[in-house]
Amino acid sequence: MSDIQRAPKGTFDRLPPESAAYLAARDTLVAPLLTAGYGYVETPVFEETAVFSRGVGESTDVVSKEMYTFADRGGRSLTLRPEFTAGVMRAFIEHRLYAGALPAKLWTVGSAFRYERPQAGRYRHFTQVSVEALGVDDPALDAELVALADAGFRGLGLADYDLQLTSLGDATCRPQYRELLTSFLAGLDLDEETRRRAGINPLRVLDDKRPEVQAQLVDAPLLVDHLSDSTKAHYDAVRQHLSDLGVTWVEAPRLVRGLDYYTKTTFEFVHRGLGAQASIGGGGRYDGLSAALGGPDVSGIGYAVGVDRTILAAQAEGLDIAVTSGIDVFVVHLGEEAKRFAVGLVGQLRAAGVAADTVYGGRGLKGAMKAADRSGAARVVVVGDRDLAEGVAQVKTMATGEQVAVPLTELADSLRASV
Ligand code: HAM
């Protein structure tokens, strides 16, 4: 097979019937947001590159290695969004939403792009549901976001996951901790590249997965032990609200997310049934992001769920999240007159809200019955020119095999009543 007959590396096509699971998962993850005052926002699939390089941070893999960046014909540097938060914040600033009612509660869903090494659960083109509450710094809001993400997963029936939670401090305590960590890291045996990263953001070294690095980090100072009084109070309040909301978590003092903008509350949902790519969602507060993008000094908190990975997690738990076929009535026709009748009946049923389909392409009775069977319809109407002359159609109930002749004048109503 040649390359033009294959989706690009790290991408995949969503096809029926499996695509039904995607739609169901997406809608279930979004459902809690619609009960909590969140409004839908849509931003462009690409932004000025600086939105991400400044927003997400130069020390991250996402910015330094994974962005799809290109020059357009006007010579602008644009980047396919590797995540949504920076673009949503850009829109918040551009449209001066900070001057309106706060928090601005926003959600979005769609494609994100990262040039990562593809493996199970890690793609170059993937889908996120991303949620942000902007302009208010209140621990109760942090708890709301965490609880909404959790509710989305629970809505799908997921149970085998941990919510990892920590606080990454703020501008008052992070710099001191950075110094502490930097002098600790200076005494370790690290390679050139890791030292370079540590120079930009020493916290990122804590996230290094290599055992030889992790072994040296056992006694590393932890940020949670060096939080300022106000950040600690914020974190305590978040945990209190989470308890009140019935959300359980595990403390994760070494959690460092893959994006640089996080401050204070930071979290990740990690599924136990997945391999290396076990993070099904994550987020946190990002009090400096607006200012980093040239906006006012306002705070924000949010999370994103990886829809593709969530589907893998559901499969790992044996959950059937797909909605089935969706066809209630299938109409099989024999003869020219019957075909006209069938096309009309299907239109009439659909207009009445009954999911209906018929056979196309003149496949003969056997092929038509096979198509009817495959459609999953509970009722199959068989109508031939002779039936029409007699003013009836045969209606078969697939579950029982029972077949009755129904007068054409009553057919649509009777089918509608039966679904
Ligand atoms: P993130 O942790 O980079 O956070 O991504 C969120 C989720 O997207 C991950 O937990 C994972 O499920 C999914 N994901 C990320 N990369 C891939 C990939 N290559 N293939 C498949 N799934 C992937 C963010 O993107 C932040 N913007 C979240 C956020 C919103 N923080 C605050 N507001």
CATH number at residue 152: 3.30.930.10
| H-run or E-run covering 88 | helix 85-94
Angle, in degrees to the nearest 10, between helices 229-244 and 139-155: 40
What pLDDT digit, counting tens, does each position of 88-103 carry?
A: 999 999 999 999 999 9
Predicted pLDDT of residue 91: 98
- Computed over every residue of the chain, the mean pLDDT equals 95
User: Is residue 2 assigned to a domain?
Assistant: no
Angle, in degrees to the nearest 10, between helices 408-418 and 336-351: 40
| 108 DSSP β-pair partners | 130
Nearest to 158 by CA among 29, 18, 17: 29
For a pocket test of ligand 1, which of 117, 125, 126, 274 has the largest count of ligand atoms closer than 8 A to its C-beta? 126
What pLDDT digit, counting tens, does each position of 273-282 carry?
A: 998 899 999 9
User: Is residue 179 assigned to a domain?
Assistant: no
* Residue 113 is assigned to a ligand binding site: no
Judge whether 302 and 132 are in contact, CB under 8 Å. Answer: yes
Ligand 1, atom nearest to 281 Cα? 10
Judge whether 264 and 289 are in contact, CB under 8 Å. Answer: no
| 114 DSSP β-pair partners | none
In this structure, the answer to whether residues 143 and 239 fall within a common structural domain is yes
For a pocket test of ligand 1, which of 271, 279, 289 has the largest count of ligand atoms closer than 8 A to its C-beta? 279
In this structure, the answer to whether residues 378 and 257 fall within a common structural domain is no
pLDDT at residue 17 greater than cutoff 90: no
Nearest CA to ligand 1 atom 8: 306
Query: Residue 95 is part of which domain span?
Result: 19-173+227-316
* Residue 47 is assigned to a ligand binding site: no
User: Is residue 213 assigned to a domain?
Assistant: no
CB atoms < 10 A from the CB of 71, how many? 10
Is the minimum distance from the CB of 267 to ligand 1 under 6 angstroms?
A: no
Residue range 89-118: mean pLDDT, rounded = 98
pLDDT at residue 324 greater than cutoff 70: no
State whether the Cα torsion 144-145-151-154 is positive or negative.
negative
In this structure, the answer to whether residues 118 and 44 fall within a common structural domain is yes
Judge whether 245 and 142 are in contact, CB under 8 Å. Answer: no
In this structure, the answer to whether residues 284 and 362 fall within a common structural domain is no
In this structure, the answer to whether residues 273 and 338 fall within a common structural domain is no
| 14 DSSP β-pair partners | none
Is the minimum distance from the CB of 126 to ligand 1 under 6 angstroms?
A: yes
Ligand 1, atom nearest to 114 Cα? 19
* Residue 54 is assigned to a ligand binding site: no
CA contacts within 13 A on the Cβ side of 107: 23
In this structure, the answer to whether residues 24 and 137 fall within a common structural domain is yes
User: Is residue 212 assigned to a domain?
Assistant: no
Is the minimum distance from the CB of 137 to ligand 1 under 6 angstroms?
A: no
Ligand 1, atom nearest to 283 Cα? 31
Given 285, 316, 347, the domain boundary residue is: 316
In this structure, the answer to whether residues 128 and 236 fall within a common structural domain is yes
User: Is residue 217 assigned to a domain?
Assistant: no
Predicted pLDDT of residue 255: 92
In this structure, the answer to whether residues 167 and 132 fall within a common structural domain is yes
What pLDDT digit, counting tens, does each position of 174-228 carry?
A: 999 999 999 999 999 999 999 988 888 899 899 888 999 999 999 999 999 999 9
In this structure, the answer to whether residues 60 and 95 fall within a common structural domain is yes
In this structure, the answer to whether residues 41 and 129 fall within a common structural domain is yes
The number of domains in the chain is 2
| CA of 305 relative to ligand 1 center, distance in Å | 6
| Alpha carbon distances (Å) from 123 to 10, 112, 141, 197 | 5, 10, 31, 24
Predicted pLDDT of residue 215: 94
Structure tokens at 140: 């109760």
Is the minimum distance from the CB of 206 to ligand 1 under 6 angstroms?
A: no
Given 316, 344, 373, the domain boundary residue is: 316
Question: With b meaning 16 or more CB within 10 Å and e meaning fewer, what string describes 30-64?
Answer: bebbeeeebeebebeebbebebbbbbbbebbbbbe
The CATH number linked to 388 is 3.40.50.800
User: Is residue 191 assigned to a domain?
Assistant: no
What pLDDT digit, counting tens, does each position of 373-414 carry?
A: 999 999 999 999 999 999 999 999 999 999 999 999 999 999
Given 265, 288, 316, the domain boundary residue is: 316
User: Is residue 56 assigned to a domain?
Assistant: yes
Nearest to 167 by CA among 197, 188, 147, 146: 146
| Alpha carbon distances (Å) from 172 to 33, 203, 221, 239, 260 | 32, 16, 17, 21, 17
* Residue 261 is assigned to a ligand binding site: yes
User: Is residue 196 assigned to a domain?
Assistant: no
Report the length, in residues, of the chain.
419
Say what percent of the chain tops pLDDT 90: 89
In this structure, the answer to whether residues 252 and 164 fall within a common structural domain is yes
Structure tokens at 239: 């945990």
* Residue 132 is assigned to a ligand binding site: yes
Nearest to 383 by CA among 419, 347, 336, 321: 336
Judge whether 331 and 300 are in contact, CB under 8 Å. Answer: no
In this structure, the answer to whether residues 263 and 337 fall within a common structural domain is no
Residue with tokens 């008052």: 172
